[in-house]
């Protein structure tokens, strides 16, 4: 494979990391027990089917913005900026979109502080002059697709629409209601993190299997691993030694922690004589440090 152009950052993985389409908005969504993209999709299908927690159809996509008020104190003799001279006074995170479904619940959420009263076949919305704790949504989440099957979720805690209510309607068109929900802290003592988070959910699946063999290395305490696998651009190997009966395991698209060691694919590995006959696992990871393939082997270590 020829080397990529030196002025281009494009790699094979570039197209896996693209965010696609407009995604969807959902409120009061508990995703704490959801472990991967497949489970998240199942939960979203249930939410869409019930219609209870989705914000509804939108137009023009949406946006997430995080603004920070950063202050740099002035002092006599200061000529340059330096590491440690910046202070964050405030952080604001908000999601905005345009809603085109005009149900009473959607309209009430857009007002930010309103009551909905149902009497027979009549539903009445009234705007309150004060904002109470129960007017904040527990959360507002946006979920979007990535090209490689992952899902990305942006969640605002204690979300409230702070934009003016501005419903526009046209002939031969649909009513449109822009909203801008802002995140809020639970209490005045929570200063460590901003009241929102971004979560990536990996797709479910099984890592492909590679064949790995082991022979005594050149030096005492070393082993020479070989594999028939051929790395693609941006990929590399990592390995981990287990015990005599169990090889280390790691799931598809999991990210290896510090207990895994990088291997260049050809050099002997110094594992120590005590590792002889123990089992090891070699994993292929992509440029995002996600596991794609794995293979296990019983180590043959030079002991004398």
pLDDT score recorded for residue 3: 59
Q: Is the pLDDT of residue 271 over 70?
A: yes
pLDDT score recorded for residue 63: 97
The arithmetic mean of pLDDT across residues 11-22, rounded, is: 81
In the predicted model, what is the mean pLDDT of the chain?
92
Question: Quick check: pTM over 0.85?
Answer: no
The conformation of residue 272, written as its DSSP 8-state character, comes to -
CB contact at 8 A, 292 and 286: yes
CB contact at 8 A, 20 and 143: no
Each residue's pLDDT tens digit, 215-269: 999 999 999 999 999 998 889 999 999 999 999 999 998 999 999 999 999 999 9
Q: Is 164 helix (H, G, I), strand (E, B) or coil?
A: coil
Each residue's pLDDT tens digit, 182-222: 999 998 888 889 999 999 998 878 899 999 999 999 999 99
| CA 185 to centroid of chain Cα atoms | 21
Class of domain 208-298: mainly beta
What residue spans define the domains of the chain?
Answer: 12-201, 208-298
């Amino acid at each position: 494979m020829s080397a990529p152009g030196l002025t281009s950052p494009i790699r094979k993985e570039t197209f896996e990391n693209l965010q696609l389409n407009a995604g969807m908005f959902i409120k009061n969504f508990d995703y704490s027990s959801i472990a991967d993209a497949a489970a998240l999709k199942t939960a979203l299908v249930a939410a869409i089917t019930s219609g209870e927690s989705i914000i509804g159809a939108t137009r023009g996509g949406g946006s997430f913005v995080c603004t920070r008020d950063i202050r740099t104190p002035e002092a006599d003799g200061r000529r340059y900026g330096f590491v440690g001279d910046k202070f964050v006074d405030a952080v604001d995170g908000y999601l905005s979109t345009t809603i085109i479904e005009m149900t009473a619940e959607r309209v009430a959420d857009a007002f930010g502080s309103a009551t909905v009263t149902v009497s027979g076949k009549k539903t009445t919305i009234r705007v309150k002059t004060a904002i109470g704790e129960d007017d904040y949504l527990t959360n507002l989440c946006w979920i979007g697709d990535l090209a490689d099957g992952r899902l990305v979720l942006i969640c605002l805690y204690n979300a409230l629409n702070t934009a003016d209510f501005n419903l526009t309607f046209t002939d031969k068109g649909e009513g449109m209601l822009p909203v801008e929900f802002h995140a809020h802290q639970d209490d005045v003592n929570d200063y460590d993190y901003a009241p929102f988070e971004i979560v990536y959910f990996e797709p479910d699946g099984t890592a492909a299997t590679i064949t790995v063999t082991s022979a005594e290395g050149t030096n005492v305490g070393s082993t020479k691993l070989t594999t028939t696998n051929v790395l693609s651009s941006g990929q590399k190997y990592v390995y981990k030694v287990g015990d005599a009966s169990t090889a280390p395991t790691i799931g598809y698209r999991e990210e290896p922690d510090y207990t895994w060691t990088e291997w260049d694919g050809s050099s002997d590995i110094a594992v120590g004589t005590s590792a002889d006959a123990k089992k090891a696992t070699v994993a292929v990871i992509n440029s995002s440090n996600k596991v794609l393939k794995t293979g296990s082997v019983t180590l043959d270590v030079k002991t004398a």
